[in-house]
Amino acid sequence: MKESKVTLKLAKEHGLLKEEYEKIKKILGRNLTYTELGIYSVMWSEHCSYKNSIAQVKTFPREGKNLLAKAGEENAGAVDIGDGLAVVFKIESHNHPSAVEPYQGAATGVGGILRDIFCMGARPVASLDSLRFGELSNSRVRYLFDGVIRGVGDYGNCFGVPTVAGEIYFDESYTGNPLVNCMAVGIVKPNEMASAKAYGAGNPVLLVGASTGRDGIHGVTFASEEISEKSQKKRPSVQIGDPFMEKLLLEASLEIIKAGLLVGIQDLGGAGLSCATSETSARGKSGMEIDVSLVPLREKGMIPYEIMISESQERMLVIAKKGKEKEVQKIFSKWGLNSAIIGYVTDDKMLRVRNKGKVVAEIPADSLVLGGGAPVYTREKKRPAYLARTSKLDLFKIKIPADLNEVLLKLINSPNIASKRWVYEQYDTMVRTGTAVGPGSDAAVIRLRKTNKALAMTTDCNGRYCYLDPRMGGRIAVAEAARNLVCSGALPLAITNCLNFGNPYDKEVYWTFVECIAGMSESCRALETPVTGGNVSFYNEDPERKVYPTPVVGMIGLIEDVKYITTQWFKEEGDIIVLLGKNKEELGGTEYLKLVHNLVKGKPPVLDLDYEKKIQQTCLNLIKKGIVKSAHDCSEGGLAVALAECCFTSGNNLLLNAEITLSEDFRKDALLFGESQSRIILSLDEKDLLELEKTAKERKVDFTVLGKVGGKNLRINQWIDLPVQKLKERFYNSIPGIMEKKVR
Amino acid sequence: MKFGVVILPGSNCDYDAYQIIKTIMKEEVGFLWHQDKDLNGCDCVILPGGFSYGDYLRTGAIARFAPIMQEIFNFAEKGGLVIGICNGFQILLEAGLLPGAMLRNSSLRFVCKWVHIKVEQENTPFTNNCQRFQVLKIPVAHTDGNYFISEEGLKKLKENNQIVFHYCSPQGEIDPVYNPNGALENIAGICNLKRNVLGMMPHPERVGEKILGSEDGKHIFSSIVNFVKGKAN
């Protein structure tokens, strides 16, 4: 690669706008060098600068009890959970790389988020993935799906973190642009938490871990444009993952942090060295001087521009305490890793990059970063025209199918609802011996050694709801995540989010973005679960379509005592089945309407936050009283699907029947398959029913006795009568049936 | 007695093995670094699961050359107890301490799930606390667990009662349906002729507590303790 003279044309080719180019020249008081252009173009890209989102993102409620690292302060959020422990967690997207190179795209997505966790000094204890693909009837989609699953699996499996939860939806809107959102959760002692700051003039700066190559150059710029036919050519922008290297980097990083040898540490992710040097300097209100000729390279002839923006994986920037650099290097060499002193901290707030002594870039560090000199825009917004069309749903025109058994079988066989076992059996879900509840129930549960506590975790977002009503969809995403945690016995603590949208310059897209954030914020406030960080991914479009607005919520909850751990499956014949909450005649946005009537229409179910909160508190209270044997949230597919799911326990072959009587006199399909919110199915011993009644009445929460565990088949009124074994087969065989089909 | 858990670059079940021995079995345990040339007086060496050296080559093919392996050869030669779990089993095969080889799973995918295994040999240092034909509930997690051996080799394994575990149903029925990886004749674990070296694909260190879904792994570790303390065989 050769250096060129920087012109407006070249700046535009790097994705900078004319006014941005002019602004940079003004900051520097001169024209940019080629290296500086590289640095600014990646740092001011949408991906790094959040320039079109940060003004909105800042409206999220970010204050709460026990927060040790709030949104934007560090690489991930941290919450104190008592017993001398804190939980560190974050979610991030890797959509664009996965669209062109699914295996490496997904693998490096996992790797990137794990580094965000362990550079805080936390040991990763769980990994989650929220994924969206097109319809599986499309062969390219199957290729993407298969590649992403292998990528997620191979990285986490080799690294040694259990991948325990997540969600997968299939919808045409994600055909060319799948969503791959990876979340990681770690545990740290608060006094051993590391910070991503550089300060103390003269403190040495080390680059550790893998050597630097040409992989991932301009990855962030690529992430800041739509997927098109040209995208395949950007495959070199996709980084290559090495989970083995990451595992060594984990051990070495935790060792130097524990030994107290450093001032700060940050992982190298998007925008590589440019981002790590400028962000740590800006956070520490310092400057930094590095010489790229000291960076260990894996390729010949790399110019400073390339070294500064390479996104080679499995690297960390370490700011050591002066005099401790030898000890740091000794630990890295013990783990067989590179470590090179590439510069030192200064107090002039400048990022100065040299090449064999010669200055190739000299930039005020703060001018590069979010919250500093990076641009902030609020885009124009407009209520989407499609809403006028989609909001009209005339239920009178929708015929109730005669055979409701068939409908239930069809729903439970829909890849959106069917078991994701084919996926999670490719993930190591049990390594680290912490998994008390693995994939398949409402939330995963990781027990915390040496305490009586456990963490519950989940991800959630129904993109179809967000498409039909972004505000309500955003609200539901948070509330349902919280409900999932409550059903597993946890008190929801805080969320991280990954906001996946189309092009922000499209006014209608921007409107949905703003509305989703507003809806999520309402729920976060009501449920007292602040936002501790996350990620925004725009430009999720292919030439034919935009993705549904998909603000994925990753939520963490605390189970105070492992005896409160609850799963969704019925436990014993004779137990009473109770519905907490109320059935309503709502069919808009349901999986049933899409699957059976081919309609994506209507308003999603209405969520009343006060009521939701009461339901969640009541459920948790009942669990803590020790009378709840199973708890399951009603979601996609409605009451009928949820009841069926309660009948077959994952992990063993226990099958239980249920006899259910529903008495509401509205549309049968709405009663069975409607997706009304704030509903939880509980099972309990008959003798505990009085206690439940008392509690529910005190808390002014609706409840209905639905029936009993046992009998013959799953029976609901005269409408549903199906052998549980048959339902189970459809539930478990759906996805493998599609993916393992032999092609002639 | 003292256990030693080997840490190879890329081991990731080392800590789990350490934990079950220390906190559940309450026995003495230490780590052994791959570059060590001393087993620190251990009575039983554990080669844990993971992806040693990344396993980008054939699984275990590089680990077999780790400096500590020489010590493990000598130790095993003298009758010392060695147990290889998952990646550890793969390494023992590469090292020639156990016969046969691992192929990629028949699904060509990583598989992590609960399985059941049937104890076929209770007269080993690793199973003396089990009943013959006892069924253990235990998880597997690997990409290469498809055990293979020549016809002649298989015959010898059988003649010498070296097949310790078979994958089976919860009731103990051995059938291909219960085989998670395509392993020859559902073989889940074998020992050497002298019965002091065991390799098994399932993870006993993952099942030592009820909260984790099973406690059946304890039978393996308590058998070792029994043996070393001279209570069995």
| Buried-state track B137-160, b at ≥16 Cβ within 10 A, e below 16 | bbbbbbbbbbbebeeeebeebeee
pLDDT digits (tens, 9 = 90+) for A283-324: 999 999 999 999 999 999 999 999 999 999 999 999 999 999
pLDDT digits (tens, 9 = 90+) for A444-464: 999 999 999 999 999 999 999
Distance in angstroms (rounded) separating the CA atoms of residues A197 and A177: 35
Say how many C-beta atoms besides its own lie within 10 A of residue B13's C-beta. 27
Determine the 3-state secondary structure of B72 from DSSP: helix
A-facing residues of B in 44-63 (CB < 8 A) are 49-51, 53-56
Alpha helices in A456-506 (DSSP H): 463-468, 470-487
Partners of B50 on chain A (C-beta within 8 Å) are 158, 160
User: Is B51 close to A157, i.e. CB distance below 8 A?
Assistant: yes
DSSP character for A575?
A: -
What pairing do the DSSP bridges indicate for beta strands A163-170 and A703-709?
unpaired
User: Is A653 close to B170, i.e. CB distance below 8 A?
Assistant: yes
CATH code reported for the domain at A195-370 = 3.90.650.10
Distance in angstroms (rounded) separating the CA atoms of residues B24 and A620: 31
Partners of A243 on chain B (C-beta within 8 Å) are 51, 54
Query: Does residue B178 belong to the interface with chain A, where contact is any CB pair within 8 Å?
Result: no
User: Is A436 close to B212, i.e. CB distance below 8 A?
Assistant: yes
C-alpha pair distances (Å), A558 with each of A457, A487, A555, A737, B185: 9, 12, 10, 37, 45
* Cα A78–chain centre separation: 16
The partner residue sitting opposite B13, judged by closest CB among A154, A427, A431, is A431
What pairing do the DSSP bridges indicate for beta strands A444-447 and A454-460?
antiparallel
Q: Which residue of A has its CA nearest to B206?
A: A433
Distance in angstroms (rounded) separating the CA atoms of residues A527 and A613: 6
Partners of B109 on chain A (C-beta within 8 Å) are 150, 153, 426
**Which ipTM value was assigned to this complex?**
0.97
Specify the fold of A63-193+419-564. 60s Ribosomal Protein L30; Chain: A; (3.30.1330)
Listed in order, strand segments (DSSP E) in A365-453 are 435-437, 444-447
User: Is B13 close to A160, i.e. CB distance below 8 A?
Assistant: yes
User: Is A449 close to B141, i.e. CB distance below 8 A?
Assistant: no
Q: How confident is residue A230, by pLDDT bands cut at 50, 70 and 90?
A: confident
**Active-site residue flag, B13:** no
Q: List every span in chain A annotated with CATH 3.90.650.10.
A: 195-370, 378-412+566-738
Distance from CA of A104 to the nearest CA of B (A): 15
**Active-site residue flag, A597:** no
Q: Which residue of A has its CA nearest to B215?
A: A433
Element housing A340 (H / E)? strand A338-346
Partners of B111 on chain A (C-beta within 8 Å) are 425-426
Q: Which residue of B has its CA nearest to A335?
A: B9
Determine the 3-state secondary structure of A451 from DSSP: coil
Mean residue pLDDT of chain A comes to 95
pLDDT of res. A652: 67
Q: How many CB pairs under 8 A join A and B?
A: 85
pLDDT of res. A235: 73
Distance from CA of B177 to the nearest CA of A (A): 14
What pairing do the DSSP bridges indicate for beta strands A350-355 and A358-364?
antiparallel
Q: Which residue of B has its CA nearest to A245?
A: B54
A-facing residues of B in 106-145 (CB < 8 A) are 109-114, 139, 141, 143
C-alpha pair distances (Å), B213 with each of A426, A504, B179: 19, 47, 20
pLDDT of res. A98: 96
Partners of B55 on chain A (C-beta within 8 Å) are 158, 244
**Beta carbons of A227 and A97 less than 8 angstroms apart:** no
pLDDT of res. A744: 43
Distance from CA of B218 to the nearest CA of A (A): 14
For the entire predicted model, the pTM comes to 0.96
Rg (CA), chain B: 16
User: Is A430 close to B109, i.e. CB distance below 8 A?
Assistant: no
pLDDT at A654 exceeding the cut of 90: no
Among A247, A433, A653, A732, the strongest candidate for a mutation testing the B interface, having the largest count of B CBs within 10 A, is: A433
Percentage of residues of chain A with pLDDT beyond 90: 93
pLDDT digits (tens, 9 = 90+) for A297-307: 999 999 999 99
Residue A381 half-sphere exposure, CB side, CA atoms within 13 Å? 14
Determine the 3-state secondary structure of A585 from DSSP: coil
Distance from CA of B47 to the nearest CA of A (A): 15
CATH code reported for the domain at B2-228 = 3.40.50.880
CA angle (A88 as vertex; A83, A93 as ends), nearest 5: 160
As a whole number, mean pLDDT of residues A403-420 equals: 98
Cα dihedral A355, A356, A362, A365, rounded to 10, equals: 80
Q: Edge to edge, what strands does the sheet with A77-82 contain?
A: A67-69, A77-82, A85-93, A179-188, A123-133, A163-170
Give the active site residue among A14, A47, A96, A632: A47
Token readout for A600 is 């994506």
Partners of B113 on chain A (C-beta within 8 Å) are 425
As a whole number, mean pLDDT of residues A270-274 equals: 93
Q: Which residue of B has its CA nearest to A438?
A: B212
CATH code matching the domain that covers A378-412+566-738, chosen among 3.90.650.10, 3.50.90.10, 3.30.420.10, 3.40.50.300: 3.90.650.10
What pairing do the DSSP bridges indicate for beta strands A179-188 and A85-93?
antiparallel
**Beta carbons of A68 and A80 less than 8 angstroms apart:** yes
Partners of A244 on chain B (C-beta within 8 Å) are 9-10, 51, 53-56
Token readout for A622 is 């009942």
The partner residue sitting opposite A431, judged by closest CB among B9, B12, B54, is B12
The partner residue sitting opposite B54, judged by closest CB among A244, A425, A435, is A244
pLDDT at A742 exceeding the cut of 70: no
Distance in angstroms (rounded) separating the CA atoms of residues B136 and A711: 31
**Per residue of chain B (233 residues), what is the pLDDT tens digit?**
999 999 999 999 999 999 999 999 999 999 999 999 999 999 999 999 999 999 999 999 999 999 999 999 999 999 999 999 999 999 999 999 999 999 999 999 999 999 999 999 999 999 999 999 999 999 999 999 999 999 999 999 999 999 999 999 999 999 999 999 999 999 999 999 999 999 999 999 999 999 999 999 999 999 999 999 986 55
pLDDT digits (tens, 9 = 90+) for A490-504: 999 999 999 999 999
Distance from CA of A146 to the nearest CA of B (A): 10
The partner residue sitting opposite A244, judged by closest CB among B10, B170, B212, is B10
As a whole number, mean pLDDT of residues A462-467 equals: 98
Partners of A147 on chain B (C-beta within 8 Å) are none
Burial of A720 (0-12, 13-18, 19+ CB in 10 A): buried
Q: Which residue of A has its CA nearest to B105?
A: A426
Residue A731 half-sphere exposure, CB side, CA atoms within 13 Å? 21
User: Is A157 close to B111, i.e. CB distance below 8 A?
Assistant: no
Distance in angstroms (rounded) separating the CA atoms of residues B78 and A237: 54
Cα dihedral A345, A347, A352, A353, rounded to 10, equals: -10
**Beta carbons of A457 and A496 less than 8 angstroms apart:** no
pLDDT digits (tens, 9 = 90+) for A47-67: 999 999 999 999 999 999 899
**Beta carbons of A682 and A706 less than 8 angstroms apart:** no
Distance from CA of B232 to the nearest CA of A (A): 29
User: Is A335 close to B9, i.e. CB distance below 8 A?
Assistant: yes
Distance from CA of A248 to the nearest CA of B (A): 7
pLDDT of res. A651: 62
Q: Which residue has tokens 């679960």? A: A529
Burial of A639 (0-12, 13-18, 19+ CB in 10 A): buried
pLDDT of res. A237: 75
Question: Where are chain B's structural domains?
Answer: 2-228
Distance from CA of B113 to the nearest CA of A (A): 6
Give the active site residue among B71, B116, B205, B219: B205
User: Is A430 close to B13, i.e. CB distance below 8 A?
Assistant: no
**Active-site residue flag, A632:** no
Collect all residues from A whose CB is shorter than 8 A from any CB in B: 150, 153-154, 157-160, 242-245, 247-248, 335-336, 424-433, 435-436, 447, 449, 562, 565, 651-653
Mean residue pLDDT of chain B comes to 97
